[in-house]
Structure 1
């Protein structure tokens, strides 16, 4: 019977696919040292002595002081790629959670160089120490036909007095030229490999010796690269080892910091600290949102996010406040740029490439482009997202060790973090406006109209002598008229924008309904046209055609009527010239808006209920304004109800009337709005949606004010409720 027989070059083929580059290969070897319970790992990169990277030159040495491997371990584990050893015993002898699981280490050495010398020392019961060594020429795997044709001899001997446990890998004939840029990239990767918070607890240290690189030979000195900008920052503990990779303590450098935990259902409980304010911890409690069809639970998630204001001297002031004043303004920003990004960590170690500047896994920059003034950019956030193991979280690392599988659990994780960021950003913007750190925008033209009267100037002119006063008053009147004209033009333009925005909310519904009606008209009219020549034919077909003719024609007429009704419902928000205010029915507008959102309401099983007391509620104004307000409020309700686990989902419209006004309260039983956000709900740009524009409610308010009405949030209601008021139509 035929059997699979792997080719020898599969080692290089798999290695090149699993290992994206030399930095990734070295990180795998560092993780192996951690799994071996070593207190540290030391990496030495030795370039060619003459600085010429040609031929088989350059050496990398990786050594640890872990428990090492015996000769049997080499035979049964190292020589068997994809062994299940680490998968089955997820804890090391000293109870470290194992980082390796896919047998990548041996492929990493093949990726780095052409030849490997491995020396391992391990204590054997009844013996002092056993030392085993192997030499591997990876080029032989390119030359031989089959993997099992290559012999790798192992030499084993007793250890001498004073020798220590551990593994030493010597990799020769390097495949990559280690330039200054590549070494800086390696240092950044190593510095961010371990969580800056967990590193101090685990006591695992990484050392990188680049002393073999010299300015006069290689164009730069290697060792100063290891400390880099951190050399300008004084830290506790005296003079550090110049070869130690020290994660910068960015965990204590922030303007705003949020930390807490998502439970397995998605509820977040944590705190927010504002260093630019009173630095007191504010509680944050966000209810769990319902799983979307494409999502799955991502387990318990611990989170820590640092957020920065990047303008002016904010960064320098932050460093000085923390006693890190030995670094300049540009270098301070460079320190942040090098450490910025939200990384995903498991067991205290980062999962590459999350947290790299090039890996915007939360799509912050895309959302920032959509709304630059409101959204956090990638260079404003540093964070740790700590996930559980694959079994508990469903978050599975790819075989290439480059990121997580984009499954339902990953989609859930993304949404939880981005929704939290939306909440935190709203709090941050609120503080910045209150503290005068940002300009508060407004679209309310009512105050502008009042100021256009120039009353204060007119009163001041009244005290002037008559010969001067008349001339100045005429000039003031001309300017006042010009201002009011400009404001009127601005309001007209604003109304056009509101109409277009409102139309955008219902485009998908319009296309859906329009296509349905047109399809029915097209299909049935074609059948009538095709059969028309045989209408009077005395045959079975003719009889059938005459019998069905009325039904087909009636259906065409019905679909045409529905299409006409659909276009009529869009007419008020088409942006055409408004004319004079009209009298219309509030109930009719509500029906029209509910019909336009029919599909969305049906898909999410959202019930709608209209409660009207007494006679039909007639108001004076513009249908388009009320439709703009109602559609934007319904749109928000549909969004939040769609993410809520509450059942049944419900939107309620309650109409009441007084002598002068008609009051429409629109409520939904989705998530309630936190009190701290109430004052900002109608501010342009404010949004708690992950990808919200923050203009919907602002448009709703301006639309209603254009019809001499208003819209407000009812903070006293038990459910999320917005109230619209319009002038009641005069009695006939």
Structure 2
């Protein structure tokens, strides 16, 4: 016997629409931006957003009004009130543009309107098409939680003689009340930033503008603008990418008037360097040793429904945040610049001049710029050094598909090719910028404090070429100097094995520098050749003796938890002596334990990081004690497995964080400590390279650490997992 159910259909619950607003819309800013984008799709020229008593959720109100095409009762009933309507998707598929501004719709999911629930519980919508009556919709979202089924949650929809859009006016007005959130100053300022970045800051407002009016002006006082920041930019570039190559390229270095020794420089697509590197390439996913060409015109869809990335316009401004360089600029507002770049720096993406959410937001390193800079700090650009925009054409970029929650593009093949073409272009810009950046340092900061030995050796090379005429002697001296430089680089690259344990590399460097200084003086005074050659021989033997102290560290299997137990045991007495609480979160780690490392070198790296924390925690305690504020010093150690084949040892403290730029932390001879040598983290970096790992210094909230450690110094040591270890 076969019995069929009478309920052979979906019967959605009333709370489904509330969930759509809550789950699919990230936050209040995104919800409001979705409503503004709806106005864009309605062919509006201007949108006005009024925020009234926004900090009081019961008495507050959000009022959004546009001068677009408006809606009649037919569109309200058959489009606006149908969740998931494909009305806009159909317009896009047919390439049907708006009448007045020739726009294609940027909203096609049919769910953005339900973000109003994210903003408030009550909504009144008033809309009027040209020559027709007004349509009014009044919804109390609370009713949707009271009723069981969606069909039972009723609300008002009616037509009336125009009362708001009088005479020939048309458009849509949405009034949201009974707010769901007490907005604070941060939320309001974030909203202002989001709205004002909805259009590219590099273009005039054109045919779509958004005005925000707020009754409490104190909430937005002191917000920096793009015009305040642009004057600090030293570099500007604008490129057009099409097909497989860079079609147009323009790079400009524009030094400030306060840098008279530097000349403006421009590089275009006509230069050999650009022409030699204009083709986009990527690693073949099936054969990493092979490169394949990226084609932005490639069809990622089908013959019936072709999908491409299309032409890309990429424009940006780059800044130099080096303290000494900024001071050379003699411009007010340095603090404002850093604040602006920290909050708004990065690369944004626009389609038909309307921003795609998430890209360029703080903490969203979608192109991995920050990690690239950690690996090559002297050359690479991080998000807080650049403000750039990518412009796409909506009709051409159909292969880039927005996620349902509006947080960027789906990460498909087209998206990765898109990123590859952008990174290829960024690399060209970075290379050109490095040349100009080095000129700034050489002209206005020529002491080369970061690598004094190599700098002095180079000066000595030039001096010998100039002052010594005896060719055999010159050749002999230069041969020794080259060997000295090679040995010194070997020391720097492979480390003194006992440096971390206490035998300081600075002793050797100090001795080497003294001999170089004496040798330089001898050459300048044109003393007898035997004296010069003797000093060179002595220097050669001296640095070779330090090179001989190096050994190739044996790599063995280590249990990371047992290793860290040993490391924390070693510092146990110091923790007690300095009254520091050591939190051993790594003991809860349940994943693969076995790593491949040299225990001696890795132990030295961990101890160096802990030494830094001990020092700076005490500095913070002393500073706070002057204000009678108590401070409990803490160090937190954990183990994470975020990347296949590697473990990450996370060491964080609750101090004040790093006081010098993170990209300089691993450079030798740079230290914020009084009388500090500046070798500790350089040694750590070199140790991790020897271990085929790396060290990095993440931003706050990049790792899921307890809140008290997010503002302190966070160091991550990435070390290889043993490939045969498959334990869970």
Per the normalisation by structure 1, the TM-score is 0.56
Between the aligned partners of 1:260 and 1:109, the Cα distance in structure 2 is 38
2:108 alignment partner, one of 101, 104, 115? 101
Q: Find 1:446's aligned residue among 481, 492, 503.
A: 481
Report the equivalent of 2:223. 228
Q: Which has the higher helix share?
A: 1
Classify the secondary structure of the residue corresponding to 2:323: coil
Residue equivalent to 1:72: 74
Aligned residues: 454
Alignment partners' CA distance in 2, 1:369 and 1:427: 19
Residues 151 and 253 (structure 1), Cα distance of their counterparts in 2 relative to 1, 3 Å cut: same
Aligned with 2:114: secondary structure? helix
Determine if contact 1:300/1:388 at 8 Å carries over to the other structure: yes
After TM superposition, the structure 1 stretch with the greater mean CA deviation from structure 2, 352-361 or 101-110, is: 101-110
Give 1:483's aligned residue: 539
Aligned to 1:603: none
**Which residue in 2 is equivalent to 1:431?**
436
Q: CA deviation at 1:374?
A: 2.6
Cα distance in 2 for residues equivalent to 1:252 and 1:300: 29
Correspondence list, 1:216-365, <5 A: 221-222=218-219, 224-225=220-221, 228-230=223-225, 248=227, 254-267=233-246, 269-276=248-255, 277-283=263-269, 284-285=274-275, 286-290=277-281, 292-294=283-285, 297=296, 298-312=309-323, 314-315=325-326, 327-365=332-370
Find out whether 1:33 has 2:39 as its counterpart: yes
- Superposed CA deviations along residues 279-299 of structure 1, whole A, max 9, x for unmatched, are 434333333244555588543
In structure 2, relative to structure 1, the CA distance for the partners of 1:458 and 1:71 (3 Å cut) is closer
Q: By how many angstroms is 1:63 displaced?
A: 0.8
Confirm or deny: 8 A CA contact 2:20 2:111 kept in the other structure: no
Contact kept, 8 Å, 1:315 with 1:332, in 2: the verdict is no
Partners of 2:129 and 2:152 in 1: CA distance: 29
| Counterpart-to-counterpart distance in 2, 1:391 and 1:44 | 35
Say whether 1:206 aligns with 2:210.
yes
Match of 1:84 in 2: 86
Over residues 152-175 of structure 1, what are the superposed CA-to-partner deviations in whole Å (9 max), with x where a residue is unaligned? 332212326536211111111101
What does the per-residue CA deviation read over 1:23-43, in whole Å, with 9 as the maximum and x for residues that have no partner?
110001111111112221111
Partner SS state of residue 67, structure 1:
coil
Among candidates 172, 187, 191, match of residue 192 of structure 2: 187
- Match among 356, 379, 394 for residue 384 of structure 2: 379
**SS in structure 1 opposite 2:223?**
helix
Taking the aligned partners of 2:170 and 2:526, their CA distance within structure 1 comes to: 97
**Do the aligned partners of 2:244 and 2:295 also contact (CA within 8 Å) in 1?**
no
Q: Provide closer, same or farther for how the CA distance between residues 99 and 199 of structure 1 changes in structure 2, counting only shifts above 3 A.
A: farther
Cα distance in 2, alignment partners of residues 457 and 197 from structure 1: 55
Within 5 Å, give how 1:452-531 maps onto structure 2.
457-458=521-522, 482-489=538-545
Q: Distance in 1 between matches of 2:311 and 2:138?
A: 45
Structure 1 residues 64 and 392: alpha-carbon distance in aligned structure 2, compared to 1, 3 A threshold: closer
What TM-score comes out, normalization by structure 2 length?
0.56
CA apart distance, 1:254: 2.6
**3-state SS in 1 of match to 2:59:** coil
Shift of 1:149: 1.9
Asked if 1:418 is matched to 2:423, the reply is: yes
Task: State the alpha-carbon separation in 1 of the partners of residues 295 and 550 from structure 2.
Answer: 42
Distance 1:180 1:454, change over 3 A: closer
- Mark the CA change 1:154 to 1:47 in structure 2 (over 3 Å): closer, same or farther: same
Residue in structure 2 matched with residue 20 of structure 1 by the alignment: 26
Superposition deviation, residue 310 in structure 1: 1.4
Matched, 1:395 2:400: yes
Is the CA contact (8 Å cut-off) linking 2:130 and 2:168 kept in structure 1?
no
Deviation at 1:197, TM superposition (A): 3.3
Q: CA deviation at 1:84?
A: 1.5
CA shift at 1:329, angstroms?
2.4
The answer to whether the 8 Å contact 1:300/1:393 transfers is no
Distance 1:249 1:353, change over 3 A: farther
Question: Matched residue of 2:14: which SS?
Answer: coil
TM-superposed CA distance for 1:177, in Å, is: 1.1
Shift in alpha-carbon separation, 1:453–1:22, aligned structure 2, 3 A: closer
1:343 Cα deviation (Å)?
0.6
SS at match of 2:379: coil
Q: Is 1:46–2:46 an aligned residue pair?
A: no
Secondary structure of the residue aligned to 2:320 is: coil
Gaps of 5+ in 2: 1-5, 256-262, 286-293, 297-308, 458-479, 486-514, 556-667, 669-685, 691-728
Report if the CA contact (8 A) 2:121-2:177 is conserved. Answer: yes
Distance 1:407 1:33 in 2: 29
Q: 1:130 & 1:363 partners in 2: Cα distance?
A: 52
8 Å Cα contact 1:196-1:251 kept in structure 2: no
Aligned residues of 2:239 and 2:247 also touching (Cα < 8 A) = yes
Structure 2 counterpart of 1:135 = 138
Distance 1:434 1:404 in 2: 39
Q: Distance in 1 between matches of 2:158 and 2:328?
A: 60
Determine the C-alpha separation between the residues in 2 that align with 1:164 and 1:456: 84
Tell me the secondary structure at the aligned position of residue 96 of structure 1: coil
Deviation digits for residues 259-293 of structure 1, max 9, x if unmatched? 11221235454121111232434333333244555
1:314-365 deviations in Å (ceiling 9; x for gaps): 45776x8xxxx6x522223333444321011111111110011211111111
Secondary structure of residue in 2 paired with 1:89: helix
Q: Is the 8 Å Cα contact of residues 120 and 180 (structure 2) preserved in structure 1?
A: yes
- 1:61 Cα shift? 0.8
Measure how far apart 1:180 and its partner are.
0.3
Match of 1:151 in 2: 154
CA distance in 1, matches of 2:439, 2:324: 19
Label 1:381 to 1:455 Cα distance change in 2 as closer, same or farther (>3 A): closer
SS at the partner of 2:321? Answer: coil
1:62–1:168 CA contact under 8 A, matched in 2: yes
* 1: CA distance, partners of 2:407 / 2:214: 26
CA 329–80 in structure 1, closer or farther in 2 if over 3 Å, else same: same
CA 1:116–1:446 in 2, change beyond 3 Å: closer, same or farther?
same
CA-CA distance at 1:210 after TM superposition: 1.4
Instruction: Report the counterpart of residue 678 of structure 2 in structure 1.
Output: none
Q: Distance in 2 between matches of 1:251 and 1:39?
A: 27
Evaluate the alpha carbon distance shift between residue 163 and residue 406 of structure 1 in structure 2; reply closer, same or farther with a 3 A threshold.
Answer: same
Judging changes above 3 Å, is the alpha-carbon distance between structure 1 residues 408 and 268 closer, same or farther for their aligned structure 2 residues? farther
Name the counterpart of 2:183: 178
SS in 2 for 1:145: coil
